[in-house]
Amino acid sequence: MSAGGVSSGVNRVWQLAARPTGFPSPEDFRLVEEAVPAPGPGQVVVRNEVMSVDPAMRGRMNDVPSYVAPFQLDRPLDGGAVGTVVASESPDVPVGASVLHGLGWREYAVLDAGHTRVVDTTIAPASAYLGVLGMPGLTAYAGLLDVAHMRPDENVFVSGAAGAVGSLAGQIARLRGARTVIGSAGSPEKVRYLVDDLGFDGAFNYKEGPIRTQLKQLTPDGIDVYFDNVGGEQLEAALFRMNLHGRVAVCGAISQYNSPEPYGIRNLSLLISKRVSLLGFLVMDHWDRRQAFVEEMSGWLREGKVKVSETFVDGIGHAVDAFLGMLRGENVGKMIVRLADPGEPV
């Protein structure tokens, strides 16, 4: 059953060397070389071609209980990746199959075939399964439609709007009939991109000028749905602008992930008078929506109605740069680390 193999036998793997305090630094990570293990019964060896760096990985670097276990010191990091099976001891996942799995941050992953999902890289590139057709896409879809229950003709605000989740949340809102879609992002280039390329009705740079004033100017009819990727000051500003019976899908709080002191939201009592609901969610509770999401998103992609943005960083040696760059806002759309070309000899 086993076929293929790994000629070099060397696997470069990123470990967590120290738990970051505040903004992580390159010294918190270590790249080690180890041998690629042979697959055991039911296992496959995957040569990773693309891997994801996600904001949630920052949370897993803290030693606190959460919905996913923290990363362990001196142990490999992990996360979403897509690659090609180069050796297999499983009848279900043959050599040559492209698979999505959870052992990124390394060149080769050895894992049970049951922990992989075969994906078709002839209909969409491998990176799409980490972005527009993957976890970030489903997060945008479920957050907007199932958590915030966005309805046609509503006014929508998306923060972190030029990132992986935000760029899709804004486009889905437009395609599902929002009256207006407003976004925020951290540079003038991103603001232009939201309006000129993605079709947002308006956008502002949260680093330039008071957030509350900028948001007020762009939302003369208030906000019915706020898709919150950042928390903190932008959440507070959005609460001032929420309409009666508005809904906030609390997706993420990236403005808080590296800050030593949490931003204290001062206007929560507005939830009462405006009957606004503020609902946090995790994409993992919405896997049952994956099929509906993939069908609808695939249709939009085929018709050219959704623009896909990806920022690539090349080489396993630069995976930490990509992660830190994503936290600093160096990405437009999904930040992806490219590890190998599928055409390259193993």
Ligand X SMILES: NC(=O)c1ccc[n+]([C@@H]2O[C@H](COP(=O)([O-])OP(=O)(O)OC[C@H]3O[C@@H](n4cnc5c(N)ncnc54)[C@H](OP(=O)(O)O)[C@@H]3O)[C@@H](O)[C@H]2O)c1
Which spans of this chain sit near ligand X (rule: CB under 6 A)?
A: 54-56, 136, 139, 160, 162-166, 185-187, 190, 229-230, 251-255, 281-283, 326-327, 329, 331, 335
- Gap between the Cα atoms of 59 and 191, Å rounded: 27
**Least distance (Å) from ligand X to the CB of residue 325?**
9
Indicate the residue among 87 and 237 with the shorter CB distance to ligand X.
237
* Residue 256 structure tokens: 């808080």
Residues 6+ apart with CB under 8 A from 48: 81, 82, 83, 103, 104, 106, 107, 108, 109, 339, 340
Indicate the residue among 86 and 335 with the shorter CB distance to ligand X.
335
**Least distance (Å) from ligand X to the CB of residue 285?**
8
- Gap between the Cα atoms of 157 and 51, Å rounded: 29
- Gap between the Cα atoms of 238 and 158, Å rounded: 10
**Least distance (Å) from ligand X to the CB of residue 155?**
21
Indicate the residue among 215 and 326 with the shorter CB distance to ligand X.
326
Indicate the residue among 93 and 283 with the shorter CB distance to ligand X.
283
**Least distance (Å) from ligand X to the CB of residue 106?**
20
Indicate the residue among 22 and 345 with the shorter CB distance to ligand X.
22
**Least distance (Å) from ligand X to the CB of residue 98?**
22
**Least distance (Å) from ligand X to the CB of residue 136?**
5
- Gap between the Cα atoms of 264 and 307, Å rounded: 35
The label of the residue with tokens 């279900």 reads 92
The label of the residue with tokens 């540079």 reads 187
DSSP state of 245: E
**Least distance (Å) from ligand X to the CB of residue 43?**
28
* Residue 127 structure tokens: 């990176």
Can you state the percent helix, strand and coil of the chain, rounding each to 5? Answer: 30, 25, 40
Indicate the residue among 97 and 100 with the shorter CB distance to ligand X.
100
Residues 6+ apart with CB under 8 A from 160: 166, 184, 185, 229, 230, 252, 254
Indicate the residue among 39 and 170 with the shorter CB distance to ligand X.
170
- Gap between the Cα atoms of 320 and 24, Å rounded: 10
SS3 at position 165: helix
